């Protein structure tokens, strides 16, 4: 069964946020490298933990988008 427009929008929204988290984590990874090379290992580790949280959030959002695609999560039009 095809997705409703609201469900399609929700799926696209979740995928967009997941992508934003992915690229934010990539950018933070570069900052982590720079901090580490600068001798600021404590801050590098803190930023690395943020990257881990972002990657986990990305994975969860992709999973939710997959559930929307499979019809397990349905969004209805608002009145």
Could you read off the pLDDT tens digit of each residue along the chain, which spans 79 residues? 688 999 999 999 999 999 999 999 999 999 999 999 999 999 999 999 999 999 999 999 999 999 999 999 999 887 5
Give domain status of residue 75, yes or no: no
Provide the domain limits for residue 56: 5-70
Handedness of CA 62, 67, 70, 76 (dihedral sign): negative
Using CA atoms in the order 58, 61, 53, 30, what is the torsion angle rounded to 10 degrees? 20
Name the phi and psi angles at 6, rounded to 5. -60, -35
Using CA atoms in the order 56, 61, 66, 71, what is the torsion angle rounded to 10 degrees? 140
Number of domains in the chain: 1
The pTM for the full model equals 0.85
Distance CA 5, CA 21 (A): 24
Of the CA atoms within 13 Å of residue 53, those in its CB half-sphere come to 7
Give domain status of residue 78, yes or no: no
């Amino acid at each position: 069964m095809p997705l409703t427009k609201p469900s399609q929008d929700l799926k696209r929204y979740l995928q967009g946020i997941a992508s934003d988290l992915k690229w934010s984590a990539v950018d933070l990874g570069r900052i982590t490298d720079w901090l580490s090379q600068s001798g600021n290992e404590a801050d590098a580790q803190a930023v690395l933990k943020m990257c881990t949280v972002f990657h986990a959030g990305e994975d969860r959002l992709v999973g939710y988008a997959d559930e929307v695609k499979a019809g397990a999560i349905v969004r209805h039009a608002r009145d």
